[in-house]
Amino acid sequence: MTFPLRLFRRQESVHDYIGVLIPLEEAHLHSHSARSGRSEFEEVGTSPDDPVGDELESGPPKDGDNEDTGMLQMSAAEYTIEGLRREVRKGERRRQWSEYEMKSKLINKAIQDIGMGRYNWQLFVLCGFGWFADNLWMQGVSLTLPSLSGEFGVSEKQVRYTTSSLFVGLCVGSFCWGLGSDIIGRRIAFNATLLITSIFGIWASYASSWVSLCILFACLGTGVGGNLPVDGALFLEILPDSSSALLTLLSVWWPIGQLVSSIFAWYFITKWPVDQGWRHFIFTIGVITFVMFLIRFGVFHLFESPKYLLSQGRQPEAVAVVHGIAHRNGKKTWLTEEILDAVADMETTDRIRPRVSAANIIKQNLMSFSIGHIRPLFQNRKLGTATLLIWFCWSTIGLGYPLFNAFLPQYLSHGGSGGPASDEGVTAYDSAPSETYRNYAIISVVGVPGSLLAAYTVDHKSPFLGRKGTLAISTLVSAIFLFFFVTFGTTPNSQLFFTCVEAFCQNIMYGVLYAFTPEIFPAPVRGAGTGVASFLNRVLGLIAPILAANVPGDGATTPIYMSAVLILAAFVGIVLIPIETRGRQRL
């Protein structure tokens, strides 16, 4: 057991990265300002009620700066202890910054001065595996529904409970891994989620009954459900502020997961008998997930989040991680423990960093699973309002999205006829021809540019774009085209057109939502905040198949109308969120 424990629990030390440290007096030569050709630090303003992540004093923005760029641009004279002390204390008037917040700002600045490099891009790919796996399995389960009806003799409406079983696991996984990553660390959760998913995914391909298959889908959901909250928080906390749009771009892996799933389903399900095609399909995506785990665990050495280490009182390791990132990127850094303590005005003689036993660690971890771990999300009115509204948006989208997308192969199989959901399993299977899976693959391809466009618009200076604007517009258009799908989607071609637009907008929506949400929360409770959001999303997603299976009528139009109304409600909630995180530092 020493090998896996070494990879999971290795403690970093600055002595492992000799040669990356430079004196503070030379920091300006290796700074973000030097790379960008800027020599002046320009102050920009925020409102007096900004949340924890805001840090600049009021005042109009200067030309050429993004709002709230914080410590991104600093002159050489400001790379002194006194200069850094002034910078970390800038922000809301009359606010007393905590030790964690000031040190978090310094870590932000150190990471910003290191800049994007090999480690950041490698992590972009590895975190992308989480997005990829999430939609690989969500869409994969949906694509098996007609085949499951055929093999197990389950009606088209009843087979929708298969999706419910997956969402049970997703609920458990998103909440436990999101909250747990704030307690046990991002690194353990980062590696474990894909392992759990792959084991139960491969096992599911050998299920002997529909009930056992549902149980195995629920078990794999406990793994895949933790990917997005954990991977998003980890990537955000090592991302230079000037490259924050990459968190949105990370969502491009989501439609790629759907595309891969649809291509394999098209190949296996349409070419093999009803009782074999879906099994080959599920086994294949299970193996793909396991390969991604092996790359994460065995090939790549992952650093723990420095923000997490800092919040846990493990300051030496946090500094060592920054040194490690600089080493992997071939850059230099000026950050030391002494600078952190001096800037935060903390005397080393007054600092106590206790070493606790394993029993105490377990006890502290169990105590952390309490309402007190979530209470900081409501420490002021603005942050509390934003928290409730973003959770509301996650809930309504969580119910609305699967009411349409989870059963899209069934909707497409009707070809716009609006025919009733069949009560005979074999008939339901026969109604899903090769053309259905082909169209599904086309829809998946169209969704990819949505994520690319979202990455561009989230940092755009237009008052109608940014995080909130892009999210609101994409959500509104998505709701409109859901109404169009039901009203005007009377032929296979019209259904394909409306669904392609829908996929494009929904990939923008989810891409921005997954980037915007962790930026709202401070790092000590970032995993909890995003974990609860994801949990609510999954819980409401669990209800969606139950509604779709029991709704009166043919079950082919009412769920889509419900989906449109819920997505429209999410649009209203997004407009009311009082925070825009574009360009702001993240604590």
- Residue range 118-161, pLDDT digits in tens: 999 999 999 999 889 988 998 899 889 888 988 888 887 788 88
Type of residue at 324: G
Q: Is residue 78 predicted with pLDDT exceeding 50? A: yes
- Indicate the SS3 state at residue 404: helix
More confident site: 10 or 473: 473
pLDDT at 50: 43
| DSSP sequence for 436-455 | HHHHHHHHHHHHHHHHHHHH
Average pLDDT over residues 213-225: 93
pLDDT at 479: 93
Residues 6 or more apart whose Cβ sits within 8 Å of residue 510: 251, 254, 397
| Interatomic CA distance for residues 323 and 329, integer angstroms | 10
Rounded to two decimals, what is the model's pTM? Answer: 0.74
Q: For residue range 359-399, what is the model confidence (pLDDT) as tens digits?
A: 444 444 444 445 555 677 777 788 888 888 989 999 999 88
- Maximum mean pLDDT: which of 78-82, 120-124, 339-343: 120-124
- Maximum mean pLDDT: which of 202-216, 263-277, 374-388, 512-526: 202-216
Q: What are the beta bridge partners of residue 21?
A: 333
Q: Is residue 583 predicted with pLDDT exceeding 90? A: no
Q: Is residue 62 predicted with pLDDT exceeding 80? A: no
pLDDT at 48: 39
DSSP 17: S
Q: Is residue 350 predicted with pLDDT exceeding 60? A: no
Q: Is residue 241 predicted with pLDDT exceeding 50? A: yes
| Interatomic CA distance for residues 271 and 215, integer angstroms | 27
pLDDT at 355: 39
Confidence of residue 49 (pLDDT cuts 50, 70, 90): very low
pLDDT at 429: 41
As given in the structure block, the two tokens for residue 477 are: 């258009």
% of the chain exceeding 90 in pLDDT: 19
User: Do the beta carbons of residue 292 and residue 172 sit within 8 Å?
Assistant: no
pLDDT at 91: 60
Q: For residue range 469-523, what is the model confidence (pLDDT) as tens digits?
A: 889 999 999 999 998 988 887 787 888 898 899 889 988 888 788 778 877 877 6
What's the angle, vertex CA 519, arms to CA 517 and CA 523, rounded to 5? 110
Q: Is residue 357 predicted with pLDDT exceeding 50? A: no
pLDDT at 427: 41
Residues 6 or more apart whose Cβ sits within 8 Å of residue 100: 310, 311, 524, 587
User: Longest C-alpha distance within the chain, in Å?
Assistant: 77
Q: How far is CA 492 from CA 97, 224, 435, in A?
A: 59, 32, 10
- Indicate the SS3 state at residue 333: strand
Average pLDDT over residues 237-244: 78
pLDDT at 199: 96
| DSSP sequence for 405-437 | HTTHHHHHHTTT--PPPPSSHHHHHHTS-HHHH
DSSP 61: P
As given in the structure block, the two tokens for residue 488 are: 């005007």
Q: How far is CA 464 from CA 69, 294, 450, in A?
A: 19, 42, 17
User: Do the beta carbons of residue 143 and residue 279 sit within 8 Å?
Assistant: no
pLDDT at 499: 87
More confident site: 123 or 584: 123
Q: Is residue 347 predicted with pLDDT exceeding 70? A: no
pLDDT at 3: 39
pLDDT at 284: 96
Confidence of residue 70 (pLDDT cuts 50, 70, 90): very low
Q: Is residue 586 predicted with pLDDT exceeding 90? A: no
More confident site: 344 or 214: 214
Q: For residue range 322-336, what is the model confidence (pLDDT) as tens digits?
A: 999 999 999 988 888
Average pLDDT, the chain: 77
More confident site: 26 or 117: 117
Confidence of residue 47 (pLDDT cuts 50, 70, 90): very low
Average pLDDT over residues 161-188: 83
Q: Is residue 39 predicted with pLDDT exceeding 50? A: no
Nearest to 533 by CA among 270, 206, 284, 171: 171
- Maximum mean pLDDT: which of 26-35, 245-254, 410-419: 245-254
What's the per-residue H, E or C state across 483-524?
Answer: HHHHHHCCCHHHHHHHHHHHHHHHHHHHHHHHHHHHHHCCHH
Count CB neighbours of 207 within 10 A.
Answer: 18
Q: For residue range 94-127, what is the model confidence (pLDDT) as tens digits?
A: 567 778 878 888 888 888 888 888 999 999 999 9
% of the chain exceeding 70 in pLDDT: 76
- Maximum mean pLDDT: which of 31-35, 226-230, 386-390: 386-390
